[in-house]
């Protein structure tokens, strides 16, 4: 067990790292964050910010010598950096688990090997692969780069076979997966925490809607049949167990019109669709990350009340600073801002949660407040 007072290392200092840092410091740990961004959102809460790249040998050596354990807030940390640190101190989740999530080809293959459903897909390494599969693709489809995609970036929708080559070129002719585009009934996600000894706590299933490939709203509990929720939860548990996973794991699912559940992707870290846990669960996802990193059992994950989470993107600043008072005057609304200076369109600046009793009323309230903060001039 790593006890409060110890120093924890964090690779990546964005908003997920910031919320991890708050949780860790609240529990009495010190945090050293490594992030090349001088204005890293996590840095203002951290004990120390090492401003360097993720493969800087001297910085990795410092983390390895000054920290009791290291975790990460995003999956694109070079595997070699994680392995270097892991020679000295625990890295949770492991480099192996993180590297699976770094590459959609490996990720889908891993899921299939475990026996978990994914959408139908083809691996596209080069143009001749495109020619080989062209006969067998049900359109519409989506071409996704195998690595470095997020928030819908690195993806192109393909309506017919003549779109394929230009799309592959547009994505840089890099390895891709070509997926069937599902006619979705809804998207859901499960966030869980698993300890090094194998104890698992799953959070309530979230129902997620996306706009332009970016998460817009999460509704919890998800408005799906109980069988759908329990199947998703079971699939997420199986994945965590088969990977002998330690830490917080998020699993995104597609649900089609026949209630078939497929895993879309996994994230080896807390997840945007788990932000509701900060305001509506006994333990939140960042506390779980601290607990599992330090060798403890995850805390109880019970949902304390129905909740709707809304992302606040930089677009909300188009007419000036959003009128935060419109949110804060509601006693059941909780605002979280990530301390980012530049509100660029599509950039995640913060989120708010509407917590209450009745889910449909909360959805209405969330939609109304969303309009108020993005359209009103301050
Ligand atoms: P990212 O890594 O950017 O989150 P995802 O693969 O999760 O990439 O895609 C982002 C969103 O795009 C999904 O949440 C979903 O709304 C939509 N999408 C992606 N793939 C498919 C698909 N095969 N069928 C239908 N919608 C999809
Ligand atoms: Mg996704």
87/217 same-domain check: no
State the average pLDDT over residues 100-107.
Answer: 96
233, 176: one domain: no
What's the CA-to-centroid distance between 186 and ligand 1, angstroms?
Answer: 11
Domain of residue 68, CATH code:
3.40.50.20
Residues 349 and 203 in one domain: yes
Residues 176 and 199 placed together within one structural domain of the fold: no
Q: Is residue 166 part of a domain?
A: yes
Q: Which two tokens stand for residue 129?
A: 């692969």
- Looking at the domain assignment, is residue 102 inside a domain? no
Asked if 51 and 18 sit in the same domain, the reply is: yes
**Domain of 16, in residue numbers:** 7-91
pLDDT 10s digits, 305-343: 999 999 999 999 998 999 999 999 999 999 999 999 999
Q: Has residue 59 been placed in a domain?
A: yes
Ligand 1 centroid from CA 59, angstroms: 35
The rounded mean pLDDT for the chain is: 96
Measuring CA to CA, which residue among 202, 195, 264, 268 is closest to residue 233? 202
Same domain, yes or no: 145 and 200: no
DSSP per-residue letters across 16-77: HHHHHHHHHHHTT-EEEEE-S-TT-TTTTTSSEEE-S-TT-HHHHHHHHHH-SEEEESSTTS
Among all ligands shown, which has an atom nearest to the Cα of 120?
1
**Residue minimizing CA distance to atom 2 of ligand 1:** 150
Picking from 268, 117, 255, the residue whose alpha carbon sits closest to that of residue 192 is 268
Average pLDDT over residues 40-65: 98
For residues 175 and 196, state if they share a domain: no
Whether 256 is covered by a domain: the verdict is: yes
Which atom of ligand 1 lies closest to the CA of 119? Answer: 23
| 13 located within any domain | yes
98 within a domain of the structure (yes/no) = no
Mark whether 172 and 188 lie in a shared domain.
no
In a domain, 172, yes or no: yes
Alpha helices in the chain (DSSP H): 15-26, 57-66, 79-86, 95-102, 104-114, 127-133, 164-170, 226-242, 277-280, 285-293, 324-328, 359-375
The residues facing 248 across adjacent strands are: 193
Q: If pLDDT is split at 50, 70 and 90, which confidence band does 134 have? A: confident
Structurally, the chain folds into a number of domains equal to 3
pLDDT at residue 152, rounded to an integer: 82
Judgement on whether residues 38 and 129 belong to the same structural domain of the protein: no
Does 157 share its domain with 291? Answer: no
Q: What is the pLDDT of residues 184-204, one digit of tens each?
A: 999 999 999 999 999 999 999
Percent of the chain with pLDDT over 90: 92
Query: Does 39 lie in the same domain as 23?
Result: yes
Q: Pocket around ligand 1: residues whose beta carbon is below 6 Å from it?
A: 119, 142, 149-152, 179, 181-182, 184, 187, 210, 213, 252, 264-265
CATH number of the domain bearing residue 211: 3.30.470.20
Residue nearest to atom 22 of ligand 1 (CA): 181
Residues 193 and 226 in one domain: yes
CATH of the domain at 171: 3.30.1490.20
Ligand 2 centroid distance, CA of 255 (Å): 14
Residue 306 structure tokens: 């129905």
């Amino acid at each position: 067990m790593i006890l409060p007072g110890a120093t924890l290392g964090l690779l990546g200092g964005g908003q997920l790292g910031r919320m991890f840092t708050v949780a860790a410091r609240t529990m009495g740990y010190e945090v050293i964050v490594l992030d090349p961004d001088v204005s890293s959102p996590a840095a203002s809460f951290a004990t120390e910010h090492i401003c360097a790249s993720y493969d800087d040998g001297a910085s990795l050596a410092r983390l390895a010598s000054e920290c009791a354990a290291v975790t990460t807030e995003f999956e694109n940390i070079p595997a070699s950096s994680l392995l270097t640190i892991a020679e000295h101190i625990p890295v949770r989740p492991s480099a192996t688990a993180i590297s699976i999530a770094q590459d959609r080809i490996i990720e889908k293959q891993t899921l299939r090997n475990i026996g978990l459903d994914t959408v139908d897909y083809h691996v596209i390494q080069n143009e001749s692969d495109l020619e080989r599969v062209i006969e067998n693709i049900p359109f519409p489809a989506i071409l996704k780069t195998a690595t470095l995609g997020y928030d819908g970036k690195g993806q192109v929708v393909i309506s017919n076979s003549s779109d394929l080559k230009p799309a592959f070129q547009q994505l840089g002719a890099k390895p891709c997966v070509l997926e069937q585009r599902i006619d979705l009934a809804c998207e859901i996600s499960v966030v869980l925490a698993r300890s090094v000894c194998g104890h698992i706590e799953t959070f309530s299933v979230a129902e997620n809607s996306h706009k332009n490939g970016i998460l817009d709203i999460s509704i919890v509990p998800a408005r799906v049949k109980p069988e759908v929720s329990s199947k998703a939860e079971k699939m997420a548990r199986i994945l965590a167990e088969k990977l002998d996973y330690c830490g917080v794991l998020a699993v995104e699912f597609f649900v089609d019109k026949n209630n078939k559940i497929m895993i879309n992707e996994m994230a080896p870290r807390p997840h945007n669709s788990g932000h509701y846990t900060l305001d509506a669960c006994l333990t939140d996802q960042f506390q779980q990350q601290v607990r599992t990193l330090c060798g403890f059992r995850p805390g109880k994950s019970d949902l304390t009340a129905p909740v709707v989470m809304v992302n606040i993107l930089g677009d909300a600043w188009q007419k000036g600073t959003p009128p935060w008072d419109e949110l804060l005057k509601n006693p059941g609304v909780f605002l979280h801002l990530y301390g980012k200076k530049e509100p660029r369109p599509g950039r995640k600046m913060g989120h708010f949660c509407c917590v209450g009793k009745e889910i449909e009323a909360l959805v209405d309230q969330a939609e109304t407040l969303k309009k108020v903060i993005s359209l009103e001039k301050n």
